Amino acid sequence: MAKQTIADIDVNGKKVLMRVDFNVPLDENLNITDDRRIEMALPSIKSVVDRGGQLILVSHLGRPKGKADPKLSLAPTAKRLGELLSTEIAFAADTVGELAQAMVSGLTDGDVVILENLRFNEGEKSGDQEFSKALAAMADIYCNNAFGTCHRTDASMVGVPMAMDGKPRVVGSLVEKEIKYLSDVISNPERPFVAILGGAKVSDKINVIDNLLAICDQILIGGAMAYTFALATGGRVGGSLVERDKVDLAKSLLEKGGDKLVLPVDSHCGDAFSADCNKQVFAAGEIPDDFQGLDIGPETAKKFGEIIRAAKTVVWNGPMGVFEMPPFDEGTKEVAQAIADGDSISIIGGGDSAAAIAQLGFENDVTHVSTGGGASLAMLEGKSFAAVDILDDATVTS
């Protein structure tokens, strides 16, 4: 899947349209509360600016459904990017209109402009050809640096690079890194290769489990979906969150996976969904009716930790319990600590797992934290992305 990168291309004096993921959280005063997505895009942004390129940044923010919404304007991201780069960043209050066209035309080498929220235009989500062509006409080079939306077929992800056929179409450093770890490393892993899957629903992870069973040595199952597997083995789960309509599916996955699928041996439970509930640890499949499982138990955490520390490649997607609510964050903490302690190539698959790693302070102790929850799941399922496939392949040197 190796693709040509922005670093491979001469950008001097050329207009570069870079799709970034500036879908950042804003408070009621439109202040950015977490700027990590902007910071993570900086290497590719600086690469273009420092080499004399004229940079046009495009992104979505929220779900405005094709209509302008002042609360979802990208203006705060232009301000924050300017602070990070110690320079003023131009902002166009439209996307393909006269103002945007004029500001793009007026760019000089090293300049940056951010265009208004792509999703203020209905053509973005629908992949409209005319909208795609209007964006494509602005630039000499297209760069996809937005992994979090790589699994989508929005205009800026697929339509624009299609319309720029014949011009360079490359990846930024973020997408390059995601491909390296979520595709290349997993396709040829150092062994033992262990996957850790948590979260609420088996249905969310069916295709991931199915795909990873073919390539992993072991898959550790935690989170609420473990209780659906417990039902499939004839266990009692009390009031735990389960998908009763997925029990037969869980049975088939257990039959297919055999010893590769490792289920919890105990569960940390409460008699209510509350931090101050009555708490007790029960053996797996033996949860009474007036309790619900809210985390893996201490014996499971110990067992999972031993397996993780012995691994050479680890992929983690989904918390082990209700990690936002102590003390039911202990299982997730133990898994994160084991990953940090080990010497494996460790890949954290975005979403809640990435949030947990950041919350626990282990970001610098793992190999890679994915920037896209949905996109990382899709890649772990083995899906191909039109938004990536259409980009220029890297030149193979002998």
Residue type at position 44: S
Question: What angle, 0 to 180 degrees and rounded to 10, lies between the N-to-C axes of helices 202-213 and 225-232?
Answer: 70
Domains 6-174 and 181-380 share a fold: yes
Condensed to tens digits (0 to 9), the pLDDT of residues 20-55 reads: 999 999 999 999 998 989 998 999 999 999 999 999
37 is catalytic: yes
Catalytic residue among 36, 167, 177, 201: 201
Contact 195, 312 (CB under 8 A): no
Condensed to tens digits (0 to 9), the pLDDT of residues 215-228 reads: 999 999 999 999 99
Identify the pLDDT of residue 397: 57
351 is catalytic: yes
Residue 59 is classified by DSSP as -
Condensed to tens digits (0 to 9), the pLDDT of residues 257-279 reads: 999 999 999 999 999 999 999 99
Taking the C-alpha atoms of 297, 298, 301 and 302 in order, what is their torsion angle to the nearest 10 degrees?
-150
Identify the pLDDT of residue 1: 60
Domain ranges for the chain, please list them.
Answer: 6-174, 181-380
Condensed to tens digits (0 to 9), the pLDDT of residues 321-331 reads: 998 899 999 99
Contact 223, 353 (CB under 8 A): no
Does residue 204 carry a pLDDT above 70? Answer: yes
386 CB burial (10 A radius; 0-12, 13-18, 19+): middle
Contact 4, 392 (CB under 8 A): yes
Catalytic residue among 19, 37, 80, 169: 37
Condensed to tens digits (0 to 9), the pLDDT of residues 142-184 reads: 999 999 899 999 999 999 999 998 999 999 999 998 888 888 7
Counting residues of the chain whose pLDDT is more than 90, the rounded percentage is: 80
Catalytic residue among 82, 110, 374, 382: 374
Confidence of residue 205 (pLDDT cuts 50, 70, 90): confident
374 is catalytic: yes
Angstrom distance (rounded) from CA 161 to CA 143: 9
Identify the pLDDT of residue 34: 87
What is this structure's pTM? 0.85
Q: Could you tell me which of 16, 7, 43, 20 has the C-alpha nearest to residue 112?
A: 16
Catalytic residue among 199, 351, 372, 373: 351
The CATH superfamily assigned to 181-380 is Phosphoglycerate kinase, N-terminal domain (3.40.50.1260)
Identify the pLDDT of residue 202: 79
201 is catalytic: yes
- Does 3.40.50.1260 match the CATH number of domain 6-174? yes
Angstrom distance (rounded) from CA 13 to CA 190: 43
